[in-house]
Homo-oligomer: A and B are copies of this chain.
Amino acid sequence: MIQFSINKTFFLQALTITKRAISSKNAIPILSSLKLEVSAEGITLTGSNGQISIEHAIHQDNENAGLLITSPGSILLEANFFINIVSSLPDVTLDFQEIEHHQVVLKSGKSEITLKGKDVDQYPRLQEMTAKNPLTFDTKLLKTLISETAFAASTQESRPILTGVHFVLTNQKEFKAVATDSHRMSQRQLTLDKAGDDFDVVLPSRSLRELSAVFTEDIESIEVFFSANQMLFRTDNISFYTRLLEGTYPDTDRLLIADFETELICRTTTLRSAMERAFLVSNASQNGTVKLEIRNQLVTAHVNSPEVGKVNEEIDTEGLTGGDLTISFNPTYLIEALKALKSETVKIRFISPVRPFTLTPGDDSENFIQLITPVRTN
């Protein structure tokens, strides 16, 4: 039966990361548990919601863990409850001991808490992967490309494939991440330092957001493994598994057309705050659109919600070429697109009032392009 002692703060950090995969409202009730496995090498914490699984290893020789293992074993504990109890303990050290009937006694300072656990056999067998030929991603880069694309995925389950982000590797080095909800699209491309096997997969955008939260920037790089139905992101301590979405992702390349008639460059924050004002008023009306007018070298934005009021904004430009144009769109899409842009300026290219327009960093700093579909108004 399990017995060990550990630094409470360190343990709590590992528990909190593992908990990100655990939902208290799961169709499979046992998945609200955390699996704790103790061996001579250390402790492994496992959490899963059926879509995402996280394994967090605490190695015996990790100095910060203050880990002293007396006896190995494994047990299931109600995750939320257990974590709340651990976080409330008074002392820096926690003694963990399993007793009869899958009960666990936690001692810390002058506090002694006994909790009921469950037999580890009740936990479902999580998918395992034969991990080979990983790609290596810089953590910061991986997090950036997620923040640049995942928001553009659909939140509607009517076309499940669009709730994912399309990850593609071609020519062993050319990586592309793209997401679209059919109203807007966001695509980031980059060339990997080290070649890998080509792949073409669709990851749930929700998994990617959890992934971003789990891997902090102090971790330098992440190994990425692919299989037919899942993907594994791995560091020394953390293994993050996610299921893939089934189905064929639509061809998004055909949407990107190099031609344009009008090109506008402006400061990202200026345009964003103008759109945020427009949104406040447009959001109160049924139509919900903002009209952008480019005329005589002047760029203006207009909202007219008969019930609520009107907005007129004049937008300072850093560059403007091509013909006059009037185009209407949902300001939310432009606000979210501008939030995803890290560059100080944004370059917007228009073809016509009824064709999607593109946004790229004004300084061409990244191979990052977004597309927004206008709304036809009479």
A residues sitting closer than 8 Å to B (CB atoms) are 81, 84-85, 88-90, 103, 110-116, 273-274, 276-277, 280-281, 284, 307-316
Interface contact B315-A110, CB-CB below 8 Å: yes
User: Which of A85, A89, A111 has the most chain B CB atoms closer than 10 A to its own CB?
Assistant: A111
Interface contact A113-B281, CB-CB below 8 Å: yes
Say how far A97's CB is from chain B's closest CB, in angstroms.
Answer: 13
User: Which one, B89, B90, B116, contacts A308 given CB within 8 A?
Assistant: B116
Interface contact B280-A112, CB-CB below 8 Å: no
Bound-state Cα–Cα, A84 to B85, Å: 41
Contacts of A314 in B (CB 8 A): 110-111
Contacts of A281 in B (CB 8 A): 85, 113
Q: Which residue of B lies closest to A315 (CB)?
A: B110
Say how far A269's CB is from chain B's closest CB, in angstroms.
Answer: 10
Give this chain's copy count: 2
Interface contact B111-A313, CB-CB below 8 Å: yes
Bound-state Cα–Cα, A317 to B171, Å: 72
Bound-state Cα–Cα, A300 to B85, Å: 18
Say how far A272's CB is from chain B's closest CB, in angstroms.
Answer: 11
User: Which one, B103, B114, B277, B307, contacts A113 given CB within 8 A?
Assistant: B277
Say how far A64's CB is from chain B's closest CB, in angstroms.
Answer: 24
User: Which of A103, A276, A284, A308 has the most chain B CB atoms closer than 10 A to its own CB?
Assistant: A308
Say how far A302's CB is from chain B's closest CB, in angstroms.
Answer: 10
Ordered by A's residue number, 7 sampled pairs between the chains whose C-beta atoms are within 8 Å are: A110-B313, A110-B314, A111-B311, A111-B312, A112-B312, A113-B309, A114-B312
Bound-state Cα–Cα, A90 to B112, Å: 57
Interface contact B116-A309, CB-CB below 8 Å: yes
Contacts of A110 in B (CB 8 A): 313-316
Also in contact, A309 and B103, with CB within 8 A (given A85-B280, A280-B81, A280-B84) = yes
Bound-state Cα–Cα, A89 to B89, Å: 48
Interface contact A89-B315, CB-CB below 8 Å: no
The 7 tightest CB contacts between A and B, nearest first, are: A110-B314, A115-B309, A114-B310, A112-B312, A88-B277, A114-B309, A113-B311
Interface contact B88-A273, CB-CB below 8 Å: yes
Contacts of A273 in B (CB 8 A): 88, 90
Say how far A91's CB is from chain B's closest CB, in angstroms.
Answer: 11
Q: Which residue of B lies closest to A270 (CB)?
A: B90
User: Which one, B112, B115, B280, B308, contacts A88 given CB within 8 A?
Assistant: B280
Bound-state Cα–Cα, A103 to B315, Å: 24
Contacts of A116 in B (CB 8 A): 307-309
Contacts of A315 in B (CB 8 A): 110
Also in contact, A89 and B309, with CB within 8 A (given A81-B284, A110-B316, A284-B81) = no
Interface contact A115-B308, CB-CB below 8 Å: yes
Say how far A61's CB is from chain B's closest CB, in angstroms.
Answer: 31
Q: Which residue of B lies closest to A112 (CB)?
A: B312
Q: Which residue of B lies closest to A111 (CB)?
A: B313
Q: Which residue of B lies closest to A304 (CB)?
A: B114
Say how far A63's CB is from chain B's closest CB, in angstroms.
Answer: 28
Bound-state Cα–Cα, A307 to B115, Å: 9
User: Which one, B111, B276, B310, B316, contacts A277 given CB within 8 A?
Assistant: B111
Bound-state Cα–Cα, A316 to B91, Å: 14
